[in-house]
Amino acid sequence: MWPNPADCKGYGYPENGLLQIYDSVPESEMIMPTQLNAHGECAMPVVKNGCTTGTTVGWLNGLKSKVHYYRCEGDTKIDFKSLETTFIPYDAGYDVFSDRGDSGSIILDRYGRIVAILTGGGGITNSTDVTFGTPWYQLFPQIKVVLPSCFVL
């Protein structure tokens, strides 16, 4: 999660080893990450813990690729679309970021801020694996429409 030594100033490993969720990543930072990869380029490392693959590390790809339509019927009707963002494995040659059964996992940045909710993905090989997620900044306002007194953090 800290591939660039110059980028980890002020970081302290959590006492209990657990990454605490405390906030969410704004759209502006998803478009222009402030964290660095090993080459000193702007990038956002992410982590998730899924039912199938457990804890995996990846990168916010920054591509917005498919449109996901959400429709809820019942007492409260919701109808909105989200441009899904993409995530790739930390080391695409060896591991996948997600697999079947991981949908619904919360994707966090290395500070514990919510980036997205995992909605799907796949690839023919590990090197072509791509995970899709609904950005939290798009999803949470819709949750508040249905559950106005809901607090996630």
Confidence of residue 125 (pLDDT cuts 50, 70, 90): low
Of residues 105 and 82, which shows the higher confidence score?
105
Nearest in space to 131 (alpha carbons), one of 143, 122, 142, 141: 122
Query: Count of residues for the chain?
Result: 153
Give the domains, in start order, of the chain with CATH numbers.
20-66+83-134 (2.40.10.10)
pLDDT tens-digit map of 77-90: 666 666 788 898 88
pLDDT tens-digit map of 35-74: 888 888 888 999 999 999 899 999 997 666 656 555 666 6
d(CA 127, CA 95): 8
The sign of the torsion formed by the CA atoms of 25, 28, 34, 40 equals positive
CA distances from 150 to 5, 9, 51, 146 (A): 38, 35, 25, 9
Q: Mean pLDDT lowest for which of 57-71, 76-90, 101-115, 125-139? A: 57-71
